[in-house]
Structure 1
Amino acid sequence: MRVLVTGHRGYIGSIVTPLLRAAGHDVVGLDSGLFALCLLGPAPENPPEFDVDLRDVTEAHLQGIDAVIHLAALSNDPLGSLAPQITHDINHHASVRLAHLAKNAGVRRFLYASTCSVYGSAGADLVREDAPLRPLTPYAESKVRVEDDVAAIADSGFSPVFLRNATAFGFSPCLRADIVLNNLVGRAVLTGKVRVLSDGTPWRPLVHVQDIAAAFTYALTAPTDKIHCAAYNVGTEANNMTVEQIAGAAADAVPGSTVLVTGDTGPDPRSYRVDFSAIRSAFDGYDPQWSVADGAAELYENYTRWGLTEYLFSERFTRLNHLEKLLAAGVLDASLRFQLIGAGCE
């Protein structure tokens, strides 16, 4: 199958792409390069690729493509809050436009990377895909809008599937330090302390980036009549944990580190536990392999192996800080488009 992966040089994309290629798929990448050089360890081998902003995609980029895996986005809540309108322009409008272009080009399957944060504040009960959606941030709201708008153009020749990923964790060549477990393990390595600024009580569903990648590979080949225009939570119930429990797993992985719950920011309204039974039923054989403890150990091993430093952690691997730095340097304009060539990361 010929597959276009948007955001192939990002945190998830740099794991998805080699997995697809190993499975025998013909992969083409599409990425603007905002984070392409934000690497820890060896650079991944990229497939043939289009170096283009998602907002500038044309139908020509989609000719001959059988399926799209759409990962590209401004990819977390603080980043979305930096520029809410740009978040909607990229995450919502450009994503829906991409789906229309794909349909016009004859693409038959469109796999969209959504998020479990669409459930917002759902409390301690396990939420399924039919639960009310209560997005609390521009990032989560943009994901809900894309699901609605892309579902509206589904038909017998164009089959979208919405994969609502739990909060990702785990090592990737294009590292992110601004997601909860990755952040807490990094802080433990650099300071010896796992500091939790909230009261530690909110629930989070977590899923390893390798298990996210596996879900997309299963979704590529699942029977259309079984998954057409459906949403699936991606993860495992075993990784529904409170923030304090996640902090404990980070501390356990880093020798000599301790947990400090400060409560400085008070309770976090984003709290939800997720039911993942639907994806196991729909994708025969899909079974997430990574526990939070295993992921914390993997992160510790790679952080120490590749020489993580405070500068790398705070400036290169924190998406918001990285973009603010590029904006201040004039590398990006106010719309987050490149003004200088080849400056994805120092």
Structure 2
Amino acid sequence: MRVLVTGHQGYLGTVMVPVLRANGHQVVGLDIGYFADCVLGSFPGDPPGVVVDLRDVTVEQLRGFDAVIHLAALSNDPLGALAPEITYDINHHASVRLARLAKEAGVRRFLYASTCSVYGAAGDELVTEDAPLRPITPYAESKVRVEDDVAALADDDFSPVFLRNATAFGFSPRLRADIVLNNLVGYAVLTGEVRVLSDGTPWRPLVHAGDIAWAFATCLTAPEAAIHCRAFNIGTEQNNLTVAEIAEAVVAAVPDSTLVITGESGPDPRSYRVDFTAARQAIGFRAWWSVPAGATQLYQEYVSRGLTSAEFFHRFTRLPHLERLRDTGVLDASMRRTGSVSDPATRF
């Protein structure tokens, strides 16, 4: 298949593109490049791609593709709280517009990266795709709105599918340090402490970036009837863990580290355990990476690639990185480039 991947220069896209290519697909990327240079260690490079703001995509840029995998988003709850209007502009309005243009361009399959955080404060019971959606943050709310609006576009010629990913973890050359397992391992490597700011009791479902890539690859070629206008939770029940349990896995993976639960941020209302049966039954997808294995992978990669505190706390943490681009004039207040794409002054 000929596949367009938005956000191919992000944390997930950088892992997903090689998986798609290994499965024989022709991949083209589409990305504004916010994180193109946020690479830890060596990286083999990107597929051919289009440099464009998601809000400015044209129908002509979407013609000739069999499928669109839509990953691009402002993926950070603190950023969403800081600028919710921009989060809705990019994550909601631009995403729905992309789906409409894809349908107009003749794209048959539209794979959307949603999130299990749409379940919000769900308690201790396992939630399925039919559970009530209770998004707490602007980021999660934007995902719910996209699912609703894109589902309305489905017809015999346009099949959207919504992959509600659990919280991602695992190494990517374009690292994210602001997601729970990646953060706890990095902090332990750099300081010797596994520091939990909440009380450690909230439930979190986790899934490895590589498993997410395989889920999307599976949906690309699954029978249309199996995926048409459906939502799938992506992850595995074995990775439904409390934040304290996640932290304990990090202590086991990082030599000489100690666990510190400060509780300074108070109780976190986001707590949910997720049922992943539907994806196993409908498309045969299984996630294989465990949290302990992911913690070990992250520890080994951080050490071998020489992760530094400056990189960890600034370059690979979404909010300070984007604030730096804005404060230095590379981006304006609406998160748009301040010059043309070809202008060297606007490079990231």
Same fold (TM over 0.5): yes
Structure 1 segments unaligned to the other structure (5+ residues): none
Query: What secondary structure sits across from 1:264 in the alignment?
Result: coil
Distance (Å, rounded) in 1 between the aligned partners of 2:347 and 2:160: 31
Output one character per residue of 1:213-254: Cα deviation in whole Å (capped at 9) or x when no partner: 000000000101111000000000000000000111111110
1:174 counterpart residue number: 174
Letter in 1 for 2:186: G
Output one character per residue of 1:183-232: Cα deviation in whole Å (capped at 9) or x when no partner: 00000000000111100000000000000000000000010111100000
Letter in 2 for 1:280: R
Query: What secondary structure sits across from 2:73 in the alignment?
Result: coil
Letter in 1 for 2:294: G
Name the stretch that deviates more: 146-155 or 326-335: 326-335
2:234 counterpart residue number: 234
Output one character per residue of 1:269-320: Cα deviation in whole Å (capped at 9) or x when no partner: 0000000000011112x22110000000000000000101100001100000
Matched, 1:32 2:47: no
Q: How far is the alpha carbon of 1:44 from its aligned partner? A: 3.5
Letter in 2 for 1:216: F
Query: What secondary structure sits across from 1:272 in the alignment?
Result: strand
1:329 counterpart residue number: 328
2:307 counterpart residue number: 308
Q: How far is the alpha carbon of 1:73 from its aligned partner? A: 0.1
Distance (Å, rounded) in 2 between the aligned partners of 1:283 and 1:294: 25
Query: What secondary structure sits across from 1:312 in the alignment?
Result: helix
Distance (Å, rounded) in 2 between the aligned partners of 1:138 and 1:344: 28
Output one character per residue of 1:84-130: Cα deviation in whole Å (capped at 9) or x when no partner: 00000000000000000000000000000000000000001000000
Quickly say closer, same or farther: Cα 1:236–1:203, change in 2 above 3 A.
same
2:42 counterpart residue number: 42
Is contact 1:34–1:344 with CA below 8 Å preserved after alignment? no
2:135 counterpart residue number: 135
1:65 counterpart residue number: 65
Distance (Å, rounded) in 2 between the aligned partners of 1:251 and 1:37: 30
1:320 counterpart residue number: 319
How many residues were matched structurally? 344
1:97 counterpart residue number: 97
Name the stretch that deviates more: 244-253 or 176-185: 244-253
Distance (Å, rounded) in 2 between the aligned partners of 1:247 and 1:79: 24
Distance (Å, rounded) in 1 between the aligned partners of 2:223 and 2:80: 35
Distance (Å, rounded) in 1 between the aligned partners of 2:224 and 2:306: 45
Matched, 1:280 2:280: yes
Output one character per residue of 1:155-207: Cα deviation in whole Å (capped at 9) or x when no partner: 00000000000000000011000000000000000000011110000000000
Mapping 1:123-272, distance limit 5 Å: 123-272=123-272
Letter in 1 for 2:315: R
Q: Which runs of 4+ in 1 moved over 3 A?
A: 340-345
Is contact 1:111–1:216 with CA below 8 Å preserved after alignment? yes
Matched, 1:290 2:295: no
Letter in 1 for 2:181: L
1:107 counterpart residue number: 107
Letter in 1 for 2:299: Y
2:75 counterpart residue number: 75
Q: How far is the alpha carbon of 1:43 from its aligned partner? A: 2.3
With structure 1 as the length reference, what TM-score do the two structures score? Answer: 0.98
Aligned sequence identity (%): 70
Letter in 1 for 2:231: A
Distance (Å, rounded) in 1 between the aligned partners of 2:189 and 2:65: 43
Query: What secondary structure sits across from 1:12 in the alignment?
Result: helix
Distance (Å, rounded) in 1 between the aligned partners of 2:306 and 2:126: 39
Distance (Å, rounded) in 1 between the aligned partners of 2:6 and 2:227: 21
1:9 counterpart residue number: 9
Is contact 2:226–2:283 with CA below 8 Å preserved after alignment? no
Distance (Å, rounded) in 2 between the aligned partners of 1:41 and 1:119: 36
Query: What secondary structure sits across from 1:41 in the alignment?
Result: coil
Is contact 2:68–2:107 with CA below 8 Å preserved after alignment? yes
Q: How far is the alpha carbon of 1:344 from its aligned partner? A: 5.6
Output one character per residue of 1:115-152: Cα deviation in whole Å (capped at 9) or x when no partner: 00000000010000000000000000000000000000
Q: How far is the alpha carbon of 1:48 from its aligned partner? A: 1.2
